[in-house]
Structure formats: structure tokens, C-alpha cells
Chain A
Amino acid sequence: MKNKILLGLMTLVLIVPISGCSYTVEEVYELEMPLGDTSGQPSYTPYEPPANEPVIPTAPSVAEPVELVNSPITVDDQQPPDNVTWISPGKVIIGNFHKGAKAEYPIAIHNGEDTSIEFLVYYRQANRAADGYIIAPDTMQDWVTIADPTPVLAPKETRNVIVVLEMPDEAEPPSSRWEFWIAVKDNSQNEMIQTELCSRWLVEMRVD
């Protein structure tokens, strides 16, 4: 009997630390939000600058318009224009990719025209690759699924088209780092010179 109890205790002693062999770190952020005086109506006291606060001078008026020559125009933080056809993002980076893995991300397409337009969305081989990456061969397109390859967008409409990259279990990657492009083309173009917009997809394989 004693032996059974001892055996049971030993089993518990062994199982508990092994099964609980993980640490959980919880980071708790506490936000302090003073409630203030909630007993009555909010009060307002006009701000009175202290006596020693510096006075900011008023900008002088300019008689003639100022012309900025060779100044960089930053549009990164602006909303994309409504009247221009665009795609977003310009670059997607997939990390830790591996056999059997699946990654999906939407390409946003905007129709900047005043008429409905059918777009073509397709895999295409990259013209060049980023440093350290190789150009993925055409066969990689078998791993890419485009949810809607011919979306028809109403004037000024923006729509997400899901692109899924799925690597088969038994497949071999072309390299540890490879790049392919997702191209978007306005299918209504019928003149001699046409345009195509591409999103670059950079894939980095997991190091096992």
C-alpha cells in the first residue's frame, strides 16, 4: 500500500513539471484615466499664458506666390488619388515560408476612370529581383491563386483581390529567397501603348 502511494506521488512529481513545461509571460499595460469631477457639468477655464511665455511672431505676408523649385514632393502619407488608377501595396514581404505553408494578402485595386473597367490580375515573372533574392520561375505560378483574376470595378471603386501563396508539402523552393510579381492591367486598353502595374512579392523561406 505504502509503495503504491509512494509510486503515485512520484508519478505526480514527474508529470507536473514535464507537462507544465512552458512559460507564459503576460504583459499588462495599465492605463490611468483620470475621471475628473463627474458630479456636475464640465467646467471651462480660459487659458491664460504665463507672463514669461515666449511670443510666436506672425509669419510675414508674401506678396508674390512662392515657387518651390526641385523640392521633393512627399506623398507617402497622403491618401491615394481618386481619379488615378492604382494598386496597393507596391511590395509584400513573406517571411518564414515553408513547405505546406499558406500566406494570403489582398491587392487593392482602384479604378480611377469614369467608366466601369475590367482588370486582369495575374502572376508574372519578375523583371528583376531584390538584393539576395532570385527571380522565381514561371512554374511558381502553380503556387499562386488569385481569388478574382478579372474583377470589374465601377468608376472610382476600390476593391481588394486576395492573392494566396501556398507551397505544396512535397515541393522544393526555387531558392531561400525568391521574388515574383502580381500584375494588374486595365483590360479595356486597346491602343498601341498600354500600361501595367505590378506588386512585388518577396518570399523568404524559413531556416529549419
Chain B
Amino acid sequence: MKKKLLRIVAILASVIVLAVSSVMPVMAATTQDVTITATPTYIALTNSEATWAVGVVTASTAYWWTADDNAPDPEPFEAADMKSTITNTGSVAEDIDIKVAAFTGGDGWAISTDDSPAEGEISIRAGVTGTTNEAGMVQVITTDNELTGSLAAAGTIKWCMEMETPASFTDGAEKTGVVTLTATQDA
């Protein structure tokens, strides 16, 4: 009798397990595959003028990289006064950032973070068509700042630079600096 009862209990248990397992959802996977999504956009950029040979400079003096090597006039800056043209030759709107590395040669020049460079420092600023005035230009430093944002595909922007030489020099060696324009997909 006891054995029969045990059998009945065992059969009932198995029926319950079957019933429960048939209505329970499948155990969900606890992991998900890593997904990679990319749209077939391409990033490209051209800049029409790549050189600025300033020549011999004097201390605490502003030099302009514009169409006529003078400060843009009138203000806000007009396209005709700009020096170079950036063209977004990519397929999507791009942000264009700008930075400058410390000047090398002789004692070298550090990059000033404002427009009043101390001894051994140089200040670089950049502006584009429509920049309000000199004060409205982007201070170009060793890390990127945005020169222009959301430049549409096939769009162009004209730009210029201003260089403020050090308050004083420690040597007369030739200096070289590199300005980098960086293009990335906007948004």
C-alpha cells in the first residue's frame, strides 16, 4: 500500500512538472551578442591653402593670413578677405575642428591660450566668413576647438588666421608650427 502511494505521488509529481514546463516561458538567454552598426558614410575634407610663410617677424606684432595679409575689413569678416577654402568632400555634414602644435626650432614657442602671448609664446586665432571681429575668432590651442560645425556635404567655408608673436624672443632661430584641421561626422 505504501509503495502504491509512493508511485501515485511520483506520477503526480511528474505530471505537475510536465504541466508547469509546458506553460513556462523558455529560459531567456542571459547574454546578448555584441552588435555593430555602421552606415556607409564617408568623411573627406579639402583645404585650398596649406602654407603660411610669414618671413621675419618682430615681437608683439600681429600677422594676418588673409587674402591681402591685412586684418579683414569690413567686419564681420567677408569671404573676399579670407585666405583659404575648406570643402566638405564627404557624404555627410561634418564638424571641422582646429588645433596647433607648439612651434619647433631653436628654443621653440609654446602656444598661448589667449591673445596676449608671453615671452616664448605665440598666439594663433582663426576666423571664418561671418566672424564678428578679431575678438570673435577662435583661439587655436594645442587641443581642438571647433572652427565650424555642421558643414553640409559639398559645402564650403572660407577662413583665415591671425598670429600674435611673443612678447620677446630668446633666440633668432626659424620656427615651424603645424595647424591641424580635423573632420568628423556631425551628429
Contact = CB atoms under 8 A, between A and B. Distances in A.
Mutual binders A and B: yes
Given A10-B14, A196-B180, A89 B51 contact: no
A199 B10 CA distance: 64
Contacts of A200: 184-185
B14 A14 contact: yes
Interface residues of A, number: 57
A80 B42 CA distance: 7
Interface string B17-61: 110011000110001111111111111111101111000000000
Nearest to B90: A86
B42 A13 contact: no
B89 interface: yes
Contacts of A192: 50-52, 176-179
A101 interface: yes
A113 B171 CA distance: 39
B185 A21 contact: no
Contacts of A94: 34-37
B43 A198 contact: yes
Given A81-B89, A84-B44, A96-B34, A22 B26 contact: yes
B35 A95 contact: yes
Most A Cβ at <10 Å: residue of B27, B33, B52, B182: B182
B26 A93 contact: no
Contacts of B37: 92-95
> On chain B, which size bracket covers the interface?
35 or more
Contacts of B139: none
A143 interface: no
B84 interface: yes
Contacts of B51: 191-193
Interface in A72-129: 72-76, 78, 80-81, 84-98, 101-103, 105, 108, 110, 112, 127-128
A76 B41 contact: yes
Contact of B184 (A81, A85, A181): A181
B154 interface: yes
Given A85-B44, A90-B94, A192-B51, 16 more contacts: A21-B27, A80-B42, A84-B89, A89-B39, A90-B42, A90-B92, A95-B34, A96-B34, A96-B35, A127-B144, A192-B176, A193-B84, A194-B178, A194-B180, A196-B180, A200-B185
The 9 closest A-B pairs by CB, nearest first: A90-B185, A86-B44, A88-B42, A95-B35, A191-B50, A90-B41, A89-B38, A73-B154, A17-B21
Interface of B: 3, 7, 10-11, 14, 17-18, 21-22, 26-27, 31-47, 49-52, 84, 89-92, 94-95, 97, 143-144, 146, 152-154, 176-185, 187
